[in-house]
Amino acid sequence: MKLPKSKEDLLAYEINWESLFDQEVISKICKPWIGKKIKEYMGVEEPTMINMVVKLLLQKCSQEQLLKKISGILDDASEEFVEKLWKVIVFEDMKIKDGIYN
């Protein structure tokens, strides 16, 4: 299974949120990644923003929902941020499906 490259393929990918939650992917993998990226984009660590994005992911938000929430904060970087985050999520989901997680 190959990681989707296009935005359309990423959108079409069926994420198994429950397995991501079981493996604590959102808190162990996504949260540190989100923190690093937000610091890159904003120049400072922004715990409120990090927690908002994590909370949305825990609510199984779509790419569109996440983009709407952060577009006023990250402005031009919003789409890039969401697309890269989705690649991380899809990659971790694929690892779970391939049995890489225990």
pLDDT digits (tens, 9 = 90+) for 74-90: 989 999 999 999 999 99
Tell me the whole-structure pTM to 2 decimals. Answer: 0.93
Tell me how far apart the terminal alpha carbons of the chain are, to the nearest angstrom: 19
pLDDT tens digits along 31-58: 999 999 999 999 998 999 999 999 999 9
Structure-model confidence comparison of residues 102 and 35, the more confident one: 35
Average the pLDDT over 13-38 and give the result. 96
101 pLDDT more than 80: no
Domain 16-94 CATH assignment equals 3.30.565.10? no
102 pLDDT band, cuts 50/70/90, is low
Helices 47-58 and 31-42: angle between axes, nearest 10 degrees = 140
